[in-house]
Amino acid sequence: MNTIVMKFGGTSVANIDRIKNVADIIKSKKKNSIKIVVVVSAMAGVTNDLCEKSKAISKNFSNEEYDVLLSSGEQVTSALLSGCLIDKGVKARSMLAWQIPIVTEGQHKNSRILSVNSKSIFKYLDEDYVVIVPGFQGISEQMKISTIGRGGSDASAVAVAKALNADRCEIFTDVEGIFTTNPQICNEAKKIEKISYDEILEMSSLGAKVMQSSSVQKAMMNNVEIFVKSTFSPEKSGTQILSDDKISYNKVITGVAYTNDDAKITLIGVKDKPGVASAIFKPLNDQNIIIDMIVQNISADSKKTDVTFTVKRDDMPKAKNIINELKKNIDYDDLLTDAKVSKVSIVGAGMITHPGVAYKMFDALSSKNINILVISTSEIRISVLVNDKNVELAVKTLHSVFELD
Ligand code: ADP
Ligand code: ASP
Ligand code: MG
């Protein structure tokens, strides 16, 4: 093995002892004379704390300054870890995103990585340094500090791994790998040895925050080999993410994921005529509001219809205002909203070849008296929207019914 990228998340570097532990993991790996780049998150809680501070200063805190502020968390960890390695006799140096540079495009708070200059990193790797890179941050083509969205250090690690053509990218976190569902809410959750890019992409975009979804997308597109492991038991094998042709499926369902930040909006009695759906969704799209599930019920007389859709809970007030404004152009009887809904999903490439999965899911939920509000599907997943209070029971029930326990 030649070059590896090791990424450590917030809980892994939450305090001085944990940073020392991370330095020991790196030092023992370095003995094998491989080139190591480390990508770090801010210490647990720091990013949230900085975010709160910005809100305390202003309700309309500048997006540009938000990025300067929030990116500082990762800078602190980089320097502490690098200093710790030096103290332990390991040649190390931190390189901030602007020094490399890691160039981003797009809006502040939610930029995308365009390129990583591998030459500047290799310069130090070739001199046998361990290079520490702060995750989450970048620099725009206008030379402004940027950040790439919450949980973005995973994407930074994958982008660096891709740029260096690294042999592997190891994501160290606070659980032993990717589990069949969040082990924090389901004691029966089991660690998955191997999972496909498609499946973890679905699971992460459906709420499993163990990997940030855009990082999985980038890894899949560029064939970056990923291992998810625990910082607290690094000797254990963790989970390998790879393409589905390298996995044999003996279960229909691979995992259960859930969100806890959805909201449902229903327009009752909308006049049923061509162009109505686009008239509703265009202004929401113009304001960058992401629409997730959509259902339209056709009325018995075909004259009126109800349109239900979901948005992120934070976007609900904005979406409601836009729909209220629409009243001028679109005829509807009533507007109903519910901000206490969540999406529970089953994911598995095995369902492509197994009929009856949807029925089994709905039957299991009905046996527990859980009402399904909206349904959506893709080739390898089925999602249902349920009331917040039913999420945990729904996850545990599906986990057991699909024999993941
Ligand atoms: P980090 O700070 O290391 O990036 P995160 O908090 O972002 O870590 O992600 C790890 C967390 O993801 C775990 O503590 C766990 O609660 C949660 N999680 C949700 N779904 C899953 C899953 N299917 N497998 C493993 N962890 C999961
Ligand atoms: N520190 C950032 C966050 O909390 C990025 C990350 O940890 O991945 O969102
Ligand atoms: Mg994370």
- What residues sit around ligand 3, an ion, with C-beta below 5 angstroms? 9, 151
Question: What's the gap in Å between 147 CA and the centre of ligand 2?
Answer: 10
Q: Does position 278 have pLDDT exceeding 80, yes or no?
A: yes
**Close Cβ partners of 84 (under 8 Å, ≥ 6 residues apart):** 19, 20, 22, 23
Report which of 139, 150, 95, 93 is spatially closest to residue 115, judged by C-alpha positions. 139
pLDDT at 84: 98
Report the chain's C-alpha Rg in angstroms.
Answer: 23
- For the full predicted model, state whether its pTM sits above 0.75: yes
Task: List the residue whose alpha carbon is closest to atom 6 of ligand 2.
Answer: 151
Task: Please check whether residue 296 is in contact with residue 277, taking contact to mean a CB–CB distance below 8 angstroms.
Answer: yes
Encoded tokens for 16: 């001085």
Q: Are strands 262-271 and 334-347 parallel, antiparallel or unpaired?
A: antiparallel
SS3 readout for 86-147: HHCCCCEEECCCCCCCEEEECCCCCCEEEEECHHHHHHHHHCCCEEEEECCEEEECCCCEEE
pLDDT tier at 244 (50, 70, 90 boundaries)? confident
Q: How many CB atoms lie within 10 A of CB 328?
A: 6
Q: Does position 219 have pLDDT exceeding 80, yes or no?
A: yes
Domains of the chain with CATH codes = 3-174 (3.40.1160.10), 258-401 (3.30.2130.10)
Residues 88-143 have pLDDT tens digits of 999 999 999 999 999 999 999 999 999 999 999 999 999 999 999 999 999 999 99
pLDDT tier at 300 (50, 70, 90 boundaries)? low
Task: Please check whether residue 208 is in contact with residue 257, taking contact to mean a CB–CB distance below 8 angstroms.
Answer: yes
pLDDT at 272: 82
pLDDT at 274: 83
d(CA 31, CA 234): 16
Question: What's the gap in Å between 283 CA and the centre of ligand 3?
Answer: 32
State mean pLDDT over 257-272.
93
Residues 68-100 have pLDDT tens digits of 999 999 999 999 999 999 999 999 999 999 999
Question: What's the gap in Å between 176 CA and the centre of ligand 1?
Answer: 10
216 lines ligand 2 (CB under 6 A): no
Region for 56 from its dihedrals, namely left if φ exceeds 0, alpha if ψ lies in -120 to 50, beta otherwise: alpha
State mean pLDDT over 366-370.
97
pLDDT tier at 43 (50, 70, 90 boundaries)? very high
d(CA 10, CA 37): 17
Residues 167-213 have pLDDT tens digits of 999 999 999 999 999 999 999 999 999 999 999 999 999 999 999 99
Report which of 169, 231, 168 is spatially closest to residue 20, judged by C-alpha positions. 231
Question: What's the gap in Å between 254 CA and the centre of ligand 1?
Answer: 16
238 lines ligand 2 (CB under 6 A): no
